[in-house]
């Protein structure tokens, strides 16, 4: 059974999601109302998946994500936010979140996303694909040392952003389903490598180092 922790500062939402997931045979091992508590509790309970809101008191969702990923490399973070701030979503993904779902997503979608996240896959919505594409375009104009997408990765991300499923993309590009997943995964990983170190250092400076 997948062990999940729910982080959200909105109590009605937090308890509501926890209850719904419990009904679906997902084990809720903890909940947390702010970023700092999330990092502390995650270290103690070691969940498989953290459902992370973005606009949190104490430590933002992105900062908490960086700290959790640093302390617990096997714990994956799935951003679940009504956040309207594209920048925050991108920040969380660069901090190590492996996917992003808006809170208006249906329950089936959420359960499926949690399963996939627990298995180590990326949860890529069209919106997130657009943000990641945009981020690479921005990095491209920053200089030659920044990470790049391969033409194939760009092609795959564009199709994700246009709403094609992994299966449809595989058919259209005559690739295997697995290869499509890998392209998506790699596009995220390259962004995260450049950013993880910075954010972790920031979280440590704010008194959340691993020895606490």
Partner 1 sequence: MITADASPRARTHPHLVPLWRGLVVYRVVALVAAVVNIVRFDDEWARPVLGIVVVAAMAVWTAISSRRYLRSGDPATAVADLLLTALATASTLLVDTPDRLAAGGPVITTVWSAGPVLALAIAFGWRGGLSGALVTLAVLFGVRRALDADLLFDAQLLLVAGLAVGLAADTMRRSVEQLRAAAAREAATAERERLARDIHDGVLQVLALVRRRGDELARHGVDAPAVELARLAGEQEVALRRLITSAPVPASDGTVDLSSRLAGLLPTHASLAVPAHAVPLPATVVDELAAVLREAVTNAAEHAPDAGLWVLVEADDDAVTVSVRDDGPGIPDGRLEQAAAEGHLGVAGSMRGRVRDLGGTLSLHTGPGEGTEWEIVVPRKEA
C-alpha–C-alpha distance, residues 100 and 49, integer Å: 13
Rule CB under 8 A: is residue 143 a binding residue for partner 1? no
Q: Segment contacting partner 1 (CB under 8 A): 69-77, 101-109, 112-120, 183-191?
A: 101-109
Q: Which CB sits closer to partner 1, 138 or 177?
A: 138
Query: C-alpha angle with apex 58: 188 to 211, nearest 5 degrees?
Result: 75
Q: Which CB sits closer to partner 1, 109 or 204?
A: 109
Q: Which CB sits closer to partner 1, 43 or 127?
A: 127
Q: Which CB sits closer to partner 1, 71 or 124?
A: 124
The 3-state DSSP class for residue 144 equals: coil
Rule CB under 8 A: is residue 161 a binding residue for partner 1? yes
**What token pair was written down for 58?**
């104490």
**What token pair was written down for 212?**
């606490």
Which residues have C-beta within 8 Å of that of residue 170, sequence separation ≥ 6? 176, 177, 179, 180
**What token pair was written down for 172?**
């259209």
* Contact in structure between 21 and 49 (CB atoms under 8 Å): no
Applying the rule CB under 8 A, the residues between 28 and 57 that interact with partner 1 are 55
C-alpha–C-alpha distance, residues 14 and 12, integer Å: 6
Q: Which CB sits closer to partner 1, 80 or 208?
A: 80
Q: Are strands 3-7 and 27-32 parallel, antiparallel or unpaired?
A: parallel
135, 181, 184, 187: which one binds partner 1 (CB under 8 A): 135
43, 115, 127, 206: which one binds partner 1 (CB under 8 A): 127
The 3-state DSSP class for residue 120 equals: coil
Applying the rule CB under 8 A, the residues between 76 and 95 that interact with partner 1 are 82-84, 86-87, 89-90
Residue numbers of the site for partner 1 (CB under 8 A)? 10, 12-13, 16-17, 20, 23, 55, 82-84, 86-87, 89-90, 102-104, 106-108, 125-131, 133-135, 137-138, 140-141, 158, 161-163
């Amino acid at each position: 059974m997948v062990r999940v922790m729910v982080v959200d500062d909105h109590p009605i939402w937090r308890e509501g999601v926890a209850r719904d997931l419990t009904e679906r045979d997902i084990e809720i091992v903890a909940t947390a109302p702010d970023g700092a508590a999330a990092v502390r509790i995650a270290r103690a309970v070691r969940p498989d998946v953290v459902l992370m809101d973005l606009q949190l008191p104490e430590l933002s969702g992105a900062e908490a994500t960086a700290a959790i990923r640093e302390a617990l490399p096997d714990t994956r973070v799935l951003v679940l936010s009504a956040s309207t701030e594209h920048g925050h979503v991108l920040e969380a993904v660069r901090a190590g979140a492996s996917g992003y779902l808006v809170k208006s997503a249906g329950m089936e979608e959420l359960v499926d996303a949690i399963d996939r996240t627990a298995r180590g896959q990326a949860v890529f919505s069209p919106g997130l694909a657009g943000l990641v594409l945009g981020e690479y375009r921005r990095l491209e104009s920053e200089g030659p040392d920044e990470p790049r997408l391969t033409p194939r990765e760009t092609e795959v991300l564009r199709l994700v952003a246009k709403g094609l499923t992994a299966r449809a993309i595989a058919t259209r590009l005559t690739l295997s389903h697995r290869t499509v997943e890998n392209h998506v995964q790699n596009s995220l990983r390259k962004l995260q490598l450049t950013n993880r170190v910075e954010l972790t250092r920031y979280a440590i400076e704010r008194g959340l180092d691993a020895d606490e």
